[in-house]
Structure 1
Amino acid sequence: MKKLFLLFCLILTASTFALADTSPITHFKIAENPYEQNQVSVVVTDTLNNTLDNVNGDYVFTINGFEDTLKFTSGVAFYKHKIDKSTFLYARHVDENGGATLSSLYYVYKSESKLVPIHISWMWLLIIPLSLVLIAYLFKRFIIIAIVIFCIFVYFNYHNNLSIPIFFQSIFDGLKHIF
């Protein structure tokens, strides 16, 4: 009887430890918060952009350089800060168990009634300045036009909260995932 009771306690203890594990986040996206105006939510997805409902609990994200703990329920967490104008959002998650670092850059376009998050690939951040330099190098008479376009590109990024460190961090995170 004692051995049976000990075996039952051992199985019960093992099952509680197995249920205590949190689901790792492997992909996420930024979406408009359907319940609050001018707010976004972070949605945990799989590689096919389907929401993972089994992700629950608190996870640490860094959004635009500010660390915040987001509470996920059924794969969705709400970012509490309101968005007043169109802006860039750089969201980053480091897995606490030594997993991969995930990061995504979004341009959140604000219209009159809703927010439209647009994912910006790190490749575009690299291709646009390099193509301007290449055009200026190949066609010497377009140097001034390339410099003006580059200045407009830098001003647009800076005006919409995409600072130089976040710009380069997004490119470096993208390059890390290649290698």
Structure 2
Amino acid sequence: MKKLFLLVCLFMAAQGFGFAKSIAINHFVVKENPFAVDEVAVVATDTAGVIQEDVNGVFTFVMNGFQEQLKFEKGTAFYRHKLDRSSFLYAKHMNDSGTHAILYYIYKHDSKLSPFHISWIFLVAIPLALALLAYMFKRFIIIAVIILCIFLYFNYHNGLSMPTFFESIIDGLKGMF
């Protein structure tokens, strides 16, 4: 009886102690840094887009192929690299629940940055639409090849290399399944 009483008391005492849950970033967005010119901030959000203010600490991100340690405070971390022109930014974070990656086009105008999320579907749709039009209209083949070259040059000139292009498409396909 004493052992049972001791066991019940032990369980009741253990209820008072909480275990810390692990903080994970499963969704994030890139926004303009309001405190610095030509810099962006990474904001940890939930699926509804609400900032997760309980995210604090150092998390590893891969930004355009370079590993960065971003320090989050109240759900926000500042990417301390200046953007001197409009460019693509491929942000990727890996944790226990998987890889989370997002491709953004950061448009710079009048010392202001406007990030636009680029869907992997958009990256697949443009070349496929050009190939379909070239197949349907034989006279359109040369124009389609020229437009495709312009599309690839624009992507490469603004920092979206072919490996990053295909990696974002593959990550998007993984997210579907």
Instruction: Please indicate, yes or no, whether the TM-score normalized by the shorter chain is above 0.5.
Output: yes
Q: Which has the higher strand share?
A: 2
SS at match of 1:35: coil
Give the paired residue count. 169
Q: Show the counterpart of 1:77.
A: 77
Q: Confirm or deny: 8 A CA contact 2:89 2:106 kept in the other structure.
A: yes
1:143, 1:93 → 2: CA distance?
40
AA aligned to 1:50 is: V
- Following superposition of structure 1 onto structure 2, how do residues 6-45 of structure 1 map, counting pairs within 5 Å? 11=14, 15=18, 18-19=19-20, 21-45=21-45
1:34, 1:75 → 2: CA distance?
15
Q: Confirm or deny: 8 A CA contact 1:38 1:84 kept in the other structure.
A: yes
User: Normalization by structure 1: what TM-score?
Assistant: 0.89
* Identical columns (%): 53
1:119, 1:178 → 2: CA distance?
17
**Residues 37-87 of structure 1: per-residue CA shift (max 9 Å, x gap):** 000000011111111111111110000000011010110000011100000
1:91 is displaced (CA, Å) by 0.2
Structure 2 gaps, min length 5: 1-5
SS at match of 1:115: strand
> 145, 148, 151: which is aligned to 1:150?
148
The runs of 4+ residues in structure 1 deviating greater than 4 Å are: none
Q: Show the counterpart of 1:117.
A: 115
Q: Show the counterpart of 2:53.
A: 53
AA aligned to 1:144 is: I
Q: Show the counterpart of 2:128.
A: 130
User: Normalization by structure 2: what TM-score?
Assistant: 0.90
Structure 1 gaps, min length 5: none
AA aligned to 1:69 is: Q
Q: Confirm or deny: 8 A CA contact 1:28 1:45 kept in the other structure.
A: yes
Structure 2 residue 87 is the aligned partner of structure 1 residue 87? yes
Q: Confirm or deny: 8 A CA contact 1:22 1:56 kept in the other structure.
A: no
1:113 is displaced (CA, Å) by 2.1
2:150, 2:49 → 1: CA distance?
33
